[in-house]
Amino acid sequence: MTGQNELRQRIARMIAAQGPISIAQFMTVALHDPQGGYYATRDPLGADFITAPEITQAFGELIGLWCAQVWHDQGQPKPARVVELGPGRGTLMADALRAARLMPEFLANIEVVLVEASPVLAAAQKETLKDCGVPLRWVGSVADIASDRPQLTIANEFFDALPARQFVRSEKGWSERMVIVDPTGNLAFALAPAVWSFAVPPERGEAACGDVYEFSAAAASIVEDLARGIARAGGAALLIDYGYAGTGFGETLQAVGGHEFRDVLASPGENDLSAHVDFGALARAARSAGAATFGPIAQGEFLLSLGIRAREEILKKPGRPTGIDRLADPDQMGTLFKALAILPHSAPPPPGFSR
């Protein structure tokens, strides 16, 4: 019996004992169960999916310069902190810190905190960053960081991994889509009998019967915490992910393994589970916590305005694609991926964004 089958059976036993579980609970167990969880047990980068920092060093380099510039624009507050959420293999942070050597004052006054749930990936990050020359610290969740100093937080493809819930509209109201065990013993989706009446954000529009409202309370609450810290102590957050601006309805929960879409419920722990990020909801959470927001804008637009083509000229080698088209082209990652920045109201607009 494989570990993954074992996890499916454990989820089935959990449902038998306590009743149907929400999609958010299912995601949490499938991704983070210490024995069989997807992130807890492997490094998925390359084998299952590829991310921007693994495609080109220019991505992390521009983000490093972005952080240094934002810190400079706010009067070079000392000491400051740079935080990365879900740093994968540590590639983005290594590239960012190398590029930030252009501003030695910045590097001399920061500590770097890596927020990582996976022991496997934390070990990879330690290896990648062992010679980076700044103090490093690892924590398991955002709540473990004190907001006692100006903090620059970066996150690439982190928020899509946070648990999301789904509600389906009927004539009576909203019913939550749950995970059950069907009569054949397989995991399946089913609507909870209870009907909720709540107001969805107005920019989503009017819901019709059958529409799905998907949201991640975890994502909004992390952004709210970050924004509260930014409003009080200064700093910024730069969130990059695949997602949408917050209008309309629809479900985006997906399973990916071996660079292909898979069945969400079939083999928990074996595939990456994610949902597109609702940038509208995150921007709203940040503003309600007292911070200013910029974007979301398309990743392509963001990278081009930071000068990624000029960097490409220096990095390119004859006959080898640089990967930059892949990140910036609208029909590749350039439009689906978006960037949102959160800053104090007193700060000037950050590089790459205009208000």
**Min CB(59)–ligand SAH separation in Å:** 8
| Nearest approach, Cβ of residue 74 and ligand SAH (Å) | 24
Distance of closest approach, residue 310 Cβ to ligand SAH, in angstroms: 23
Burial 52-77 (b: 16+ CB within 10 A, else e): bbbbbbbbbbbbbbbbbbbbeebeee
Identity of the residue, 151 or 175, whose beta carbon is nearer to ligand SAH in the bound complex: 151
Say how far apart CA 73 and CA 253 lie, in whole Å. Answer: 38
CA distances from 85 to 56, 229, 314 (A): 19, 15, 29
Minimum distance of ligand SAH from residue 80's CB (angstroms) = 21
Examine residue 87 and tell whether it contacts ligand SAH (CB under 6 A): yes
Does residue 82 touch ligand SAH according to CB under 6 A? no
Which tokens in the block code for residue 32?
A: 């983070």
Residue (of 286, 323, 318) closest to 303 by Cα position:
323
Q: Which residue is nearest to ligand SAH (CB)?
A: 86
> Minimum distance from CB of 272 to ligand SAH (Å)?
8
Q: Is 273 left (phi over 0), alpha (psi -120 to 50) or beta?
A: beta
Nearer to ligand SAH, 54 or 312 (CB): 54
Q: Which residues between 102 and 161 bind ligand SAH (CB under 6 A)?
A: 115-118, 121, 141, 156-158, 161
User: Nearer to ligand SAH by C-beta: 70 or 238?
Assistant: 238
Strands (DSSP E) along the chain, which ranges? 21-22, 80-85, 110-115, 136-139, 151-156, 165-169, 174-181, 187-191, 212-215, 235-244, 254-257, 260-262, 272-274, 277-278, 292-298, 337-343
Among 7, 37, 39, 255, interactor with ligand SAH by CB under 6 A: 39
Pick 67 or 347: Cβ nearer ligand SAH: 67
Which of 20, 37, 53, 344 binds ligand SAH (CB under 6 A)? It is: 53
Task: Determine if 27 is a binding residue for ligand SAH (CB under 6 A).
Answer: no
AA letter at 95: D
CB of 53 to ligand SAH, least distance (A): 5
Q: Kindly state whether residue 88 participates in binding ligand SAH, applying the rule CB under 6 A.
A: yes
What letter represents residue 209's amino acid? C
Q: In sequence order, what are the beta bridge partners of 165?
A: 215
DSSP summary character for residue 200: P
Question: Is residue 51 near ligand SAH by the rule CB under 6 A?
Answer: yes
Nearer to ligand SAH, 25 or 51 (CB): 51
| Residue with Cβ nearer ligand SAH (61 or 211) | 61
What is the chain's length?
355
By CB under 6 A, how many residues form the interface with ligand SAH?
Answer: 19
3-18 vs 23-32: helix axis angle to the nearest 10? 150
- Residues contributing to the site for ligand SAH (CB under 6 A): 39, 45, 51, 53-54, 86-88, 92, 115-118, 121, 141, 156-158, 161
